[in-house]
A and B are shown apart, each in its own frame.
Chain A
């Protein structure tokens, strides 16, 4: 039972390159989220998917796109990476969006954009 699995764990990109961060969960949770964590800033919500088939912007969506591929998988895409996107990215899930269920985080992807 892996919980929330993120790939890759580490990635270095050059400015302008694109990449997709993958997130998969085996918790049968309905809602999935992408957060980024920067020093001194705390975690900030990028995008979320309240349920399969829906996605919505969070606090800092610019420069990102997401795809809820199915109930298990939620990917985050950087189309043209910028140094400001250097961060640790966390995928999280919750059982439901409105049922007061807590977040479960994956282990994170550490991304460096040079």
Chain B
């Protein structure tokens, strides 16, 4: 079992709709969770991080964390063609490790169709 699991997609989303991405993790001690966006051929860039149960909103993005069920999700509201990318879920293994030592999922490809 991989430590961080994501559906590879592609997830096809009509423009203006909500894209919902899910990620599960195996280490119950993980405390901090990250969503990175990676355009094709480019490097990952951080969108959001979350470490408390519940929702965290930033613009059109909402991260949701449920530690009891060991999943973290990302919602993209009012999806735009520019949101077409691969979204990487990442967690810090254990409770106190560095933000630089991330365990990444393989990513979910999102395609926003006009």
Contacts and interface: CB of A to CB of B under 8 A. Distances in A.
Interface of A: 31, 33, 39-45, 48, 50, 58-59, 90, 92, 94, 97-98, 100-103, 105-108
A45 B44 contact: no
Contacts of B49: 102
Contacts of B101: 33, 45, 48, 58
Contacts of A50: 98, 100
10 contacts: A40-B8, A40-B106, A43-B44, A43-B102, A90-B43, A100-B32, A102-B49, A103-B46, A103-B100, A105-B45
Contacts of B60: none
Nearest to B99: A100
A42 B91 CA distance: 12
A111 B104 CA distance: 20
Contacts of A42: 4, 88, 104-107
A97 B100 CA distance: 7
Interface string B77-108: 00000000000101000000011111111110
Q: Which of B43, B49, B101, B107 has the most CB of A within 10 A?
A: B43
| The 4 residue pairs across chains A and B that have the minimum distance between CB atoms | A42-B104, A105-B43, A43-B104, A42-B106
